[in-house]
Amino acid sequence: MFIVNSYPLAIIFCVITMLCWGSWGNTQKLAGKTWRYELFYWDYVIGVLLLAIIFAFTLGSMGGNGRGFIADLGQADMKNIGSAFLGGIIFNAANILLSTAIAIAGMSVAFPVGIGLALVLGVIINYLGSQKGDPVFLFLGVALITVAIILNAVAYKKASGGSQKVSSKGILVSILAGVLMSFFYRFIAASMDLDNFMSPAAGKMTPYTAVVIFSLGILVSNFVFNTILMKKPISGEPTNYKAYFWGNFKIHLVGILGGIIWGIGNSLNLIAAGKAGAAISYGLGQGATLVAALWGVFIWKEFKGSSKKTNTMLAVMFILFVVGILSIIYAGQ
């Protein structure tokens, strides 16, 4: 299987994760013009699982390094399989809430508040689980990103004085999504041998196998979580499975593409975690907040018509994000 053996390559993978995790929401925005987000989310989940399986039988099975996917799955013990599966359930609950927040409050709020909070709590949780990297620079980076998140919230509040309307429900859902999101990664990481992907400990899984189990956890739990939301949505009118199957092929492809984009980022991030460490890998990946905010500001014009003061605050937010991300990268040197 393919293994990352250098820190610079691990960082490149984490940056790709950042781009993927910060960009998949655009597919929801595109589909949302004519398609309920609960229906979109089914295609998204299918895309995540599809990508995980493709990676498992390609990068996870080719070459002479480590165990191939089938052999690795066969030796995995139920404790580790259960851990990765539970990670999928927790992620799914968080991500459905995040999708709801995007629909209610927009990408410029849902991502910085939800994913920003997940970054702060997640880095702490993952560092306690696997203490790899300089804690001073790691948490300095987290602190700078926290300030950036606060600036984003203030900027959006000021923008609401014009054409924007701040949804307290959207902010509350974003916070709940962020708290849940901070826990999922630790459960996947615990199912793998982060210190040795070449010859993982017996019962532990490689990242490729862990991602497949994790994705199955998302799919299975979706029959519960998303079915409930379809009948009793947080926002909008109820929908049903009949509406999903009536959707045209192109609209389904948009959702599947969104899942594949997120799945690429997730797989590369876990592959990089063996070299960079879980806290650094997770922290950099969740820098997706910056990417999503850029999409929201410059492409979707969610701050259109804002004052000069608001735009200045946004500029400072982006600078703090970049410096914070660079600090996290340096922490792993």
Where residue 22 falls among pLDDT bands split at 50, 70, 90? confident
pLDDT in tens, 240-288: 999 999 999 999 999 999 999 999 999 999 999 999 999 999 988 887 7
pLDDT in tens, 43-68: 999 999 999 999 999 999 998 788 99
How far is Cα 151 from Cα 97, in angstroms, rounded to an integer?
Answer: 23
34 found inside a domain: yes
32 found inside a domain: yes
Q: Find, among 308, 321, 142, 168, the residue nearest to 234 by Cα.
A: 168
300 found inside a domain: yes
2 found inside a domain: no
Query: Can you give the residue range of the structural domain that contains 73?
Result: 7-331
198 found inside a domain: yes
Total number of domains constituting the chain: 1
Sign (positive/negative) of CA torsion 237, 241, 242, 247?
positive
1 found inside a domain: no
| Tokens read off for 250 | 């192109």
Phi, psi for 86 (deg, rounded to 5): -65, -35
Q: How far apart are the first and last CA of the chain?
A: 25
Q: Are 151 and 317 in contact (CB under 8 A)?
A: yes
58 found inside a domain: yes
